[in-house]
Structure formats: structure tokens, C-alpha cells
């Protein structure tokens, strides 16, 4: 069992917030294991629930999606997952502590050239569990903190300290939609948690995602991040979260990007303008296939007999898939019953 750490009073998933009653009702009538014509016990039509994770899992492998979300088979927790959870909890806590009073105090200390005191105050907002972290969370958090500190110094110098602070922290967003697939209208409910939202200082907003895995500066990694960020941008627009619109930029930070042979710890911020069009097409494509899988009750495996012995699925994603032992692509069940 891995040791989780959460300095927040409540887990962000326990603090449900909907924009209005209609969205709350829509969420309550949405399920992951949706089938055509499915109704609840009162005869009310149910919707298919879509999140960033369901879309990205389906994109990796429709069968993996089927096991995880349609059948609800839980994945075994791993060290990497626990590191991710613990780092996210501490970063969420950090931003919750930054208010106007803290900003005033920091400004005053920086005015007086007391940089180390200011840095020390900020560091106090990153608590540790008794006995310390166990899964390299501190390496990850140290890098993340360094970036925030440097960004703070730049904002102070530019007299824009108010834009250093996140304006949204673990923002829960819900939205409704309906799409037509194979002649059927399918009602959808989207749910997402946006790690952080910042002001772009010109009336627009920057969506920021924190990752604790490895970073490789390759086109496939860039497009997978743009896919995730576009999902958030679209649900903010669909649900009319005007306080965070327009989204002009998105970005991601990988403070432990060097892990598992990754390139290095890195962060990237991009203008959404041109990139959004391509990412939006990609989302629409995956969403359509995902809904068609539900309509046809067909969730194919990404790996098949036709793959060569050197196929990339041997290591990614099959290599780390929790469902490898029950997946028909690998004939394990067949072998066991012969
Ligand atoms: S083992 Fe491979 S093909 Fe099978 S569910 Fe997992 S990722 Fe998909």
C-alpha cells in the first residue's frame, strides 16, 4: 500500500461545484458504462460521462478504456500514481494559501531586499508528511517551487505580482453536449478538473497542467498535451465559464521530467490560436469513435495478431497495462484454459 499525503482539509474531488442546478442534474444522470436507451430507476434517460482521462485512455486503447471505465476494474495503485497525487495535493494547498495579505507581505519583503525571508515564507506553504516523502515527491516539488519563485521575482520586477497568483486552483468544470453517431443522438456530460488557471495580463487566461511523469520533447508528446488542454478549453467554453474566458494560452509543467529516461524537467506555454484548431479536430475524432464503441458495444484492442513482434505496443501501452492478463489481444485466458 502506498502512502498518500494531503494537507488540504478536503480532497478536491470531494468539493463538488457546479455552475447551476441543470449541470448538477446532468452530472447525476451521467454514467461511464452508458448503453443506448439506458435509463435510471425513475425511467430518466442517462448520459455518457466523458472526462479528459476517458478520452485519453480510449485514445491509447479502446479495450483499456472498456476495462477501466465501462467495467470499472480498478488499476493497481503504483508509486508513480501516488507521487502524482501527493504532489498535486501539496501544490493545490500552496495556491490556496496565497491571498492578498501574503502578496502584500511578499512585496514588502522584496522591497526591503529580504529575498531569503520571502522565499522562506513561501516554502512554509509546502508541508511535508511526518518522516518525509517516500516517492521522490520532494525532488519534483523542489523544482516546481524554484520555477514559481523565479516567476515571482520576474513579476515583482515587472510590477505585475497580482498576475503571479493562480486565479483558478483545481477548477472543476461541467458541461453538457449531444452528438450524433451512426444515426443516433447521444447525450453527453463532460467533467474536468483544471489544475491551475492564470491571467495572461491582457484580459485572457492561461490553462496550466502539472505532470509528475517524464517529459520528452517530441511531436507526439506535444500533441498529446495539446489534446488534453483543448479538452479543458472546450468544456470551459461549452459551460460558459465566462470568468475564465477567453483562453488565450495553455501550458504544462513537468518538474520531474528527467525520470525514466526523460529529457529534463521542463515547462512550456503556448498561444492556443492556431494549435487549437488541430487539437479540436483530434478531440472530435476520438470522441466520435468512443461514442460509436458504446453504440456498437465494440471496444477493440490496440494490439492485435497482425502486429509485428517488434510493435510499439509491447512496451507502450501494453507493457504497463494493468489488464494485460485478461486482454484477448495477448491470448492469456485462452492459453490458461487449454
Ligand atoms: S494489454 Fe494492450 S491491447 Fe490489451 S487492453 Fe491493455 S493496452 Fe489494450
Tens digits of pLDDT across the chain (338 residues) = 899 999 998 765 556 676 688 889 999 999 999 999 999 999 999 999 999 999 999 999 999 999 999 999 988 889 999 999 999 999 999 999 999 999 999 999 999 999 999 999 999 999 999 999 999 999 999 999 999 999 999 999 999 999 999 999 999 999 999 999 999 999 999 999 999 999 999 999 999 999 999 999 999 999 999 999 999 999 999 988 899 999 999 999 999 999 999 999 999 999 998 889 999 999 999 999 999 999 999 999 988 777 766 666 665 667 778 898 888 887 655 544 44
pTM: 0.92
For the chain, the C-alpha Rg in angstroms (whole number) is 22
Neighbours of 115 (CB within 10 A): 13
**Prior bond to 246 cis, omega within 30?**
yes
For residue 6, which of 90, 82, 80 has the smallest C-alpha distance? 90
State CA 252 to chain mean position distance. 10
User: Which region, left, alpha or beta, applies to residue 159 given φ > 0 means left and ψ of -120 to 50 means alpha?
Assistant: left
Domain range list for the chain: 308-338
Nearest residue (CA) to ligand 1, atom 5? 64
58 lines ligand 1 (CB under 6 A): no
Beta carbon of 329 within 6 Å of any ligand 1 atom = yes
Residue (of 235, 237, 253) closest to 245 by Cα position: 237
CB 270, CB 247: distance < 8 Å: no
Written as nine digits, the cell of 100 is 492578498
Nearest CA to ligand 1 atom 4: 327
Count of helix runs (H) and strand runs (E) in the chain: 10, 7
Cβ of residue 324 lying under 6 Å from some atom of ligand 1: yes
Whether residue 317 has a cis bond before it, omega within 30° of 0: yes
Determine whether the shortest distance from the Cβ of 299 to ligand 1 is under 6 A.
no
d(Cα 269, Cα 246) in Å, to the nearest integer?
Answer: 16
Is the CB of 65 inside a 6 Å radius of any atom of ligand 1?
no
Amino acid at each position: 500500500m502506498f502512502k498518500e499525503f494531503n494537507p488540504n482539509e478536503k480532497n478536491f474531488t470531494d468539493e463538488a461545484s457546479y455552475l447551476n442546478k441543470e449541470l448538477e442534474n446532468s452530472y447525476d444522470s451521467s454514467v461511464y458504462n452508458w448503453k443506448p436507451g439506458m435509463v435510471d430507476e425513475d425511467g430518466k434517460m442517462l448520459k455518457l460521462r466523458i472526462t479528459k482521462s476517458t478520452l485519453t485512455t480510449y485514445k491509447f486503447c479502446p479495450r483499456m478504456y472498456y476495462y477501466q471505465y465501462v467495467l470499472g476494474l480498478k488499476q493497481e495503485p503504483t508509486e508513480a500514481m501516488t507521487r502524482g497525487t501527493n504532489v498535486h495535493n501539496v501544490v493545490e494547498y500552496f495556491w490556496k494559501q496565497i491571498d492578498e495579505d501574503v502578496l502584500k507581505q511578499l512585496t514588502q519583503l522584496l522591497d526591503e531586499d529580504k529575498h531569503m525571508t520571502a522565499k522562506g515564507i513561501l516554502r512554509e506553504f509546502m508541508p511535508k508528511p511526518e518522516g518525509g516523502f517516500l516517492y521522490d515527491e520532494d525532488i519534483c516539488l523542489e523544482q516546481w517551487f524554484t520555477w514559481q519563485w523565479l516567476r515571482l521575482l520576474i513579476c515583482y520586477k515587472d510590477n505585475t505580482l497580482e498576475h503571479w497568483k493562480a486565479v483558478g486552483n483545481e477548477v472543476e468544470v461541467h458541461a453538457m453536449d449531444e452528438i450524433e453517431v451512426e444515426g443516433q443522438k447521444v447525450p453527453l456530460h463532460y467533467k474536468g478538473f483544471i489544475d491551475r488557471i492564470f491571467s495572461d495580463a491582457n484580459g485572457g487566461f492561461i490553462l496550466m497542467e502539472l505532470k509528475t511523469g517524464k517529459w520528452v520533447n517530441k511531436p507526439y508528446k506535444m500533441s498529446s498535451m495539446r489534446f488534453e488542454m483543448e479538452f479543458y478549453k472546450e468544456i470551459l467554453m461549452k459551460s460558459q465559464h465566462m470568468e475564465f474566458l477567453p483562453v488565450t494560452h495553455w501550458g504544462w509543467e513537468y518538474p520531474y521530467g528527467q525520470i525514466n529516461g526523460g529529457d529534463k524537467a521542463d515547462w512550456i506555454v503556448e498561444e492556443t490560436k492556431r494549435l487549437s484548431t488541430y487539437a479540436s479536430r483530434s478531440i472530435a475524432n476520438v470522441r466520435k469513435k468512443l461514442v460509436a464503441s458504446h453504440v456498437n458495444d465494440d471496444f477493440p484492442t490496440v494490439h492485435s495478431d497482425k502486429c509485428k513482434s517488434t510493435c510499439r505496443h509491447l512496451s507502450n501501452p501494453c507493457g504497463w497495462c494493468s489488464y494485460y492478463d485478461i486482454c484477448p489481444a495477448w491470448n492469456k485466458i485462452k492459453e490458461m484454459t487449454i
